[in-house]
Structure 1
Amino acid sequence: MRRLIVLIVAAAALWGGYWFIAARGLETGLRNWLATPQVGWATEYADLNVRGFPNRLDTVIEKPVVTTDSGIAWRAPFFQAMALSYKPNHVILVWPDQQTVETPFGTANITTNDMRGSIVFSASTDLALDHSNFVIDGLRAAISESGEFTAKSALFATRLAPARTNVHEIGLDASDITPPADILAQLGLGRAAPAVIEQLKLDAALGFDRPLDRFALEGTPAQINRIELKHTRVQWGDMALRANGDLDVDRAGNLDGSITLGITNWKQVLTLAVNGGLIPQRQAKQIERGLALLSANRDTLELPLNLRGGVMSLGPIPLGPAPRLRQRQ
């Protein structure tokens, strides 16, 4: 019995020592990383502590602020990252129910019923991303000078694609999305538009130029070099948009490839695209006439969206300059 007691005491002491070393190492590493200048963004906070003895490593960051060179800032009263001390590569993230995002176009005061995520990294010193999932319930964003944006729920998940290098499969499913009334008016829809976007679904894969590990945010961030849309669907009243196809992305951010678009109620979708700045106003009538011929005056269309050499076209109809991802030169 005495030996058993000695073994239990020794095991407890060893475990306590392990937890203390792991907690102090995690806290020191996080403080050093957050204090290191990064390309394009910076972080401030009031305090950072690691708690959870004896079986957890719970990191609490008080009053974090993340700012970017593009003038965007995220603020919150706290942020939590939690892991089991014997499984530190599986991290649970918890956001507060109130956050603020500041942009050059206005400030969004965000509230949620629940917002959390789970990230699993590889069991190595590089901590490469293996898979993740995030959930938001009861999202409300009061946007200055625009109104309120809401969403009933949103699910987002990723996983490292099997047998492919630096490719991550991603999925998004959001429901009951209500855009601000001012934005609807700006898009030329106003009261004629349905109040709620019923569904937004995305099934895709993104290729990166290097692994998404702990080095991916240091120096120049990891860059997307391929986009594969397997299934995308937006349902908004009697408007619907479906998309699938593949795009390559060069180092300058130019997109090259083709996406097949299926559009229901294409005239109203065209109005959205023009008023949202995706299609020049001066080309709207010409494009509408061309789409009317291609659709044989039906409400539905299925056409390829081609992106080549910095320009894009919808079937045979030129649309102008193609969007470009912000990539390194």
Structure 2
Amino acid sequence: MRKLLFLMIAVTALWSGYWFVGSNAVREGVVTWFADATRQGITAENAGVTVAGFPNRFDLTIDEPRLADPVSGAGWQAPFVQVFAMTWKPWHVIAALPPEQVVTLPDQVVTVGSDGLMASARAKPSTDLPLAEVRTAGPSLSLASDAGWTLGLGEFTVGLRADEALGPAGYEFGFDLAPLTPDPGFLAAVKAVSIPDLPASDLPEVVEALWGSVYLTFSAPLDRHAGKARPHLRRVEINQFNLSWGELAASASGVVEADGNGYAAGRVTIDVTNWDRLPAVLVAAGVVQPEMAPTIVRGMQALAAQSPDMKVLSLSLVLEDGRMSFGPFPLGPAPLMVPPSG
């Protein structure tokens, strides 16, 4: 009996020591990260860092975090962030985000509202800590910009997971972002567009479906060495993309990868059903000038006439020799996928 009691006391002492050492390491790691970011010229502030959860969890709370890049003008702040991890698997963390966050962009400030917004990140248990999965989900999300626009999401999920079939640096990015409620002002602008030979817009207030999966191949794995390796995208394959907004529907598939000069090259095919609803959206979004809309419509009609179904418009985004075009419309230079340094 005494031996059993002694063993229990010893195990308790060891576990308590492990928790206190681990919690101190977590806290010091966060404090060091904020200090390093400040030395690199980033505004990195907080009102306090605490770790609780003894004995089975590391519950990290960062009060009033604020990050900002003085050069780009981008920033983020929130009243708090909480990160949780079980003591026996610290490579799997779950973050609880506050009901309101503020994202600062160079030209506007966006307030992010949410209800039960959660994020999780899981690494594979190895010394390199390769990313296994990162995921964000919630029952609702709203965006409100001081530039005057809003955007709302219902139950949504966004995730990135390692896919061994794509190689050691391959990942699948998946998303389901509907029901999605566009800005009422944008919807009003769409309905106000009048284009000869096209009916007035009948698009509903909610986008019913917006989901898909994209295969991504990087130049190096996303692991603890990523800061030095600086992985960049080398290949993008659109496996599935589906949009359903009233009578307007779209799907896409294709592959884009870096060519010998580092520019994006490939082809993405986009099929639009009931394409006659699309021109008003493009005009309201500022992609097409109102005076050019009739010309664009005639071009779409000619292309749709080549399809077995006049309601379906099939166009290809072609990236080749450093240039890109969308159907017959030139778009300019193709994006550079490989940094100049290689």
| TM above 0.5 | yes
Deviation by residue 1:126-169 (Cα, 9 ceiling, x = unmatched): 32211132212221222223243211111112211114121111
User: Contact 2:233/2:337 (CA < 8 Å) preserved in 1?
Assistant: no
The alignment yields a C-alpha RMSD, in angstroms, of 2.7
* Separation (CA, whole Å) in 2 of partners of 1:41 and 1:273: 37
Q: Could you say if the C-alpha distance between residues 253 and 144 of structure 1 is closer, same or farther in structure 2, counting changes exceeding 3 Å?
A: farther
Partner of 1:145: 147
1:268 shift after superposition: 2.9
* Separation (CA, whole Å) in 2 of partners of 1:125 and 1:30: 20
* Separation (CA, whole Å) in 2 of partners of 1:213 and 1:189: 49
1:246 equivalent to 2:255? Answer yes
Partner of 1:57: 58
* Separation (CA, whole Å) in 2 of partners of 1:184 and 1:106: 21
* Separation (CA, whole Å) in 1 of partners of 2:41 and 2:117: 26
Partner of 2:335: 324
Moved more, 230-239 or 32-41: 32-41
Partner of 2:197: none
Moved more, 178-187 or 77-86: 178-187
Paired amino acid for 1:63: E
User: Contact 1:115/1:136 (CA < 8 Å) preserved in 2?
Assistant: yes
Partner of 2:24: 24
Partner of 1:103: 105
User: Contact 2:325/2:332 (CA < 8 Å) preserved in 1?
Assistant: no
1:63 shift after superposition: 0.6
User: Contact 2:264/2:337 (CA < 8 Å) preserved in 1?
Assistant: no
Paired amino acid for 1:138: S
Give the match's secondary structure for 1:222. Answer: coil
Structure-to-structure mapping, 1:85-234, within 5 angstroms: 85-163=87-165, 164-185=167-188, 192=201, 193-216=203-226, 218=227, 221-234=230-243
Partner of 1:36: 36
Give the match's secondary structure for 1:165. Answer: coil
Paired amino acid for 1:305: L
1:250 shift after superposition: 5.9
Moved more, 248-257 or 67-76: 248-257
* Separation (CA, whole Å) in 1 of partners of 2:145 and 2:67: 19
* Separation (CA, whole Å) in 1 of partners of 2:272 and 2:22: 54
Give the match's secondary structure for 1:36. Answer: helix
1:207 shift after superposition: 1.2
* Separation (CA, whole Å) in 2 of partners of 1:102 and 1:154: 23
Moved more, 49-58 or 36-45: 36-45
Partner of 1:5: 5
* Separation (CA, whole Å) in 2 of partners of 1:52 and 1:203: 36
1:204 shift after superposition: 0.9
Structure-to-structure mapping, 1:73-92, within 5 angstroms: 73-92=75-94
Partner of 2:196: none
Moved more, 279-288 or 95-104: 279-288
Q: Could you say if the C-alpha distance between residues 282 and 208 of structure 1 is closer, same or farther in structure 2, counting changes exceeding 3 Å?
A: farther
User: Contact 1:251/1:328 (CA < 8 Å) preserved in 2?
Assistant: no
User: Contact 1:279/1:319 (CA < 8 Å) preserved in 2?
Assistant: no
1:223 shift after superposition: 1.6
1:32 shift after superposition: 1.4
Moved more, 184-193 or 261-270: 184-193
* Separation (CA, whole Å) in 2 of partners of 1:37 and 1:111: 27
* Separation (CA, whole Å) in 2 of partners of 1:142 and 1:219: 36
Q: Could you say if the C-alpha distance between residues 212 and 41 of structure 1 is closer, same or farther in structure 2, counting changes exceeding 3 Å?
A: farther
* Separation (CA, whole Å) in 2 of partners of 1:182 and 1:220: 44
Give the match's secondary structure for 2:186. Answer: helix
Q: Percent identity?
A: 31
Task: Provide TM-score, normalisation by structure 2.
Answer: 0.86
Give the match's secondary structure for 1:87. Answer: coil
Moved more, 277-286 or 14-23: 277-286
Paired amino acid for 1:62: D
Q: Which runs of 5+ in 1 are unaligned?
A: none
* Separation (CA, whole Å) in 1 of partners of 2:205 and 2:334: 28
1:254 shift after superposition: 3.4
Q: Which runs of 5+ in 2 are unaligned?
A: 194-199
Give the match's secondary structure for 2:329. Answer: strand
Give the match's secondary structure for 1:112. Answer: strand
How many equivalent pairs are there? 327
Moved more, 189-198 or 130-139: 189-198
Paired amino acid for 1:113: D
Task: Provide TM-score, normalisation by structure 1.
Answer: 0.89
Moved more, 222-231 or 27-36: 27-36
Partner of 1:309: 321
Give the match's secondary structure for 1:53. Answer: coil
Q: Could you say if the C-alpha distance between residues 66 and 219 of structure 1 is closer, same or farther in structure 2, counting changes exceeding 3 Å?
A: farther
